[in-house]
Amino acid sequence: MQLEPIQALVKENLQAVNALIIDSLNSKASLINDLGHYIIQSGGKRLRPLVVLLIARACGYEGLDHIKLATIIEFIHTATLLHDDVVDDAKLRRGKKSANAVWGNEAAVLVGDFLYSKTFQMLIDVGNTRVMKVLADATNIVAEGEALQLLERHNLETTEKKYLQVIQCKTAKLFEASAQIGAILGNADSELEEAAAQYGLHLGTAFQLLDDILDYQASSTLTGKTLGNDLSDGKLTLPLIYILQNGKPNEIRIVQEAIRTGGGKYLPAIQEILALNSAIEYTRQCAKLEMEKAQKSLVKLKPSPYLEAALSLAEFAVHRDH
């Protein structure tokens, strides 16, 4: 499934977001200009900004603040990526060298901090206290999710329930906030606002579960990431949790050793184990269930091309190859 037809519906809005991103990166510090432009212009799907734009329009919003808020969401997301890559010692991001690999960890952290602080300034310009609270809460929960994930590294006792809690904080929360602030802009009533938030939460969860699959199956050329990153970092994601619960004793031992040591050298063996079991199929089915929950959340929204695009975006989240 392709993302371009969905983006085409709000093409001018997305172009305005990209223009505002570039304009907002102006700084007296050349490091911020260079590194900020490097990561922002290195690609990315702009899914979270897209959610803001689609839900705002689906809720009848006709102003321009959704452009600013979509930009703010992208800055928050980009800041988390910069900090993430430092924590994970990542070398690739979106098919290019990660910012920390080019400029160093110190620079990546500082520019991430700049992006966070920039969002505060931009939120003041929007002047909507309810939106401010949603984004403040979301940013805090995302940071908490990052810390929880760090604590779960190499932890063979991680359950499926615990894992889902972590990804709902780390990944899905920003999708949830994106949809919720779109609904707030559209003056949606409390029921529709909550429905939009649930759409974002389930969409983000589905998106992360598909990422779990792609980390073992996708082409690095398509994803722009090194295959087996999670395994190398000792992260126990859903496919491996499934093996620990359902695999044969020798398969379980290999997974346990790989997670304990954070051994990327185990990747071929892990891929073979996954191919011999239903772990990938199970994870994909979980992602599809989240997709269906996302779509059902919007059932009371007035029919429109924007609603159809939001529903299609949920489909894209689980049928993509990168």
> 254-306: per-residue pLDDT in tens?
999 999 997 778 999 999 999 999 999 999 999 999 999 999 999 999 999 99
- In total, the chain counts a number of residues equal to 322
* CA–CA separation, 10 and 54 (whole Å): 8
* CA–CA separation, 175 and 256 (whole Å): 32
Q: What is the overall mean pLDDT for the chain?
A: 92
Q: What is the pLDDT of residue 219?
A: 60
92-93 vs 96-97, strand pairing mode: antiparallel
CA atoms within 13 A on the CB side of 290: 27
* CA–CA separation, 20 and 30 (whole Å): 18
Q: What is the pLDDT of residue 322?
A: 84
Select from 10, 38, 11 the least CA-distant residue to 22: 38
* Residues 6 or more apart in contact with residue 43 via CB below 8 angstroms: 94, 95, 224
* CA–CA separation, 268 and 229 (whole Å): 13
- Specify the CATH number of the domain 4-319: 1.10.600.10
Chain centroid offset of residue 253 CA: 31
Give the residue ranges of the chain where pLDDT is below 50.
Answer: none
* CA–CA separation, 322 and 319 (whole Å): 9
Q: What is the pLDDT of residue 73?
A: 97
DSSP class of 264: G
Phi-psi region of 48 (alpha: psi -120 to 50; beta: other; left: phi over 0): alpha
Which phi and psi angles does 247 have, rounded to 5°?
Answer: -80, 170
For residues 50 and 6, the answer to whether their CB atoms sit within 8 Å is yes
Q: What is the pLDDT of residue 277?
A: 94
Burial (Cβ within 10 Å: 0-12, 13-18, ≥19) of residue 82: buried
DSSP class of 218: S
201: which 2 tokens?
Answer: 């939460």
Q: What is the pLDDT of residue 225?
A: 61
